Structure 1
Amino acid sequence: MALLAEYSSQELLQAELQLWHQSLGFFKSAALAIALDLRIADAVHRLGGAATLPQILAEAGISPCRLRDMRRVMRVLTVSGIFIVQHPDEAAAAAAAESRHDAAVYKLTAASRLLVRDKSSTATGQLPHFLTVQLLLGPVRDSPVSMGMRKWFRQQGDQQQPGLSPFAMAYGGQTVWERAEHDAAAFRFNDAMAADTAFLMPIVLRECAEVFRGLTSLVDVAGGLGGAAATIAAAFPDLKCTVLDLPQVVAKAPSGTDVHYVAGDMFESIPPANAVFLKWILHDWRDDECVKILKNCKQAISPRDAGGKIIIIDMVVGSGPSDDIKHAETQVLYDLLIMNINGVERDEQEWKKIFFEAGFKDYKIIPVLGVRSVIELYP
């Protein structure tokens, strides 16, 4: 990559952070539009100005099945200062790890107080301030993505279609992958993923090539046309690299390369190898789906004492400098983007949960890729 000769890895990752942060600004407005549409501030106000998320959902009439997703919206709104969140102390969190998020208390700020619609919020005859915010949010609220998200949150149990995402609601029932296949010229999803691989993989090899050293074989799961595998193979000529992807993807794979291609489905089985590589894959899937993928990975790899491991490139929310608000905002805003396709950006505890459910014993997080990390997962 020519840019690596001109800039350091950290300069390039900081540049990526700047562009992502600005591009994802839409989702800061989308989170506010969701809160305004669902009257979250009103619910907190009626509950005395401070409440847990289960209490807020019950008060606002939101389906309990949206608890985790509403927590993600509130995370954006607390990072950006619209609400304040107070987490339980460490002792309480340790005693009830599963419910630690649900015990968090959300409080109104001056900003969220302006969103409250009850008559006591304004002087007699005065129009409420939320109308100004509603007007300013108009271009965002009227976009297909924002309308899909708000409709998705308003659904009740008897209206929900299993697996239907906000993205599908916005685009006539199509998944993101179906739209990428049927409308590739206008929606260049696959090209964008290939461009991301071309940008990131040289940085991965410069900053943490040691994760690949000593391996004899590697399967890049859902590796597309093999950009990542080809980069790894070029850096480690003795490493046999294989790409597993769906038949329609493998049919388009280039010939005459050092990469071997296998048509298959990661939810069914994965070819045996020393290690499995998952770049930017697991965040697309729900926890139960990730556990299924990882169990298949575990069956495919060597034992740990023979070098067997999973190499994951994904986001670990909360990793990075604690005082870098741009970094923190970008991670939680990207989480709202990925929520649109029923994906999840996970914090360390959420990763740990699915790792251990899949039968793995240990892991190591290497936070050297800006808002993303390398995770080594061991059987």
Structure 2
Amino acid sequence: MEGHSDKLFQGQTHILHHTFSFINSMSLKCAVDLCIPDVIHKYGQPMPLSILISSLPIHPSKTTFIYRLMRILTHFGFFSQHKNELEVSYELTDASRLLLKDHPFSVTPLMQVILDPILLRPHQYYSNWLKNDDHTPFKMEHGVAFYDYVGQDPRLNDLFNDAMESDARLVSTMVIEKCEGVFKGLESLVDVGGGTGTMAKAIAKSFPHLNCIVFDLPHVVAGLQGDYDNLKYVGGNMFEAIPPTNSILLEVNGYCTTGMMKNAWKY
């Protein structure tokens, strides 16, 4: 009976761990919204809790909650802490440095769009989605497909484009550094769903012989121009047609796949 009770307790613990795991991501979002990483970075040394609290735009009645917030984020490696006889102080870690607004590889825009309420709400209704014929939970919740919604919502459109651009900065650096041989010998490349062109810009700059096209929805590429002679923007729908090319590049959640195609789709 004692062993059975242990298993029940372990099972309950496992369930509650996953039930409350959303608190971790929401705590991280809270810290970014309050600019805590930037505040600590600007301080230039381990920042005492009292000074951190006084530097944040919070109500006086909520000051005690900052320590609790920092405990969660320190536990998960977003900050490191130092204690003396007076109080605890905080420093950035490698992870929280990537949350700085002016970091060249900041992931803050990506985190913000993923945790935006518009994108979070559909996750509440997976069971309902499985019972109907809607293509995605997003369309079931909002009435239109994700990219159609983004095209109608300037705030979300800007947030999403910033997120894709920030993600592509780090990815493009790694792709060019680790996969240089993939691009040798190619004459043309289409970055399908290339957004504002961060990835294609890096490739076009590194490989001047390669003609690059950023291909995305018309509202995404409207008004954009190539920074290099071998780069241009084309608007369209990848589910209908892709510009003629002998290679395509697809980036999905930070991973890139380059497909060589002698007979690419044509308009």
Normalised by the length of structure 2, the TM-score is 0.48
Tell me: higher relative CO, structure 1 or 2? Use CA pairs within 8 A at least 6 residues apart. Answer: 1
Normalised by the length of structure 1, the TM-score is 0.35
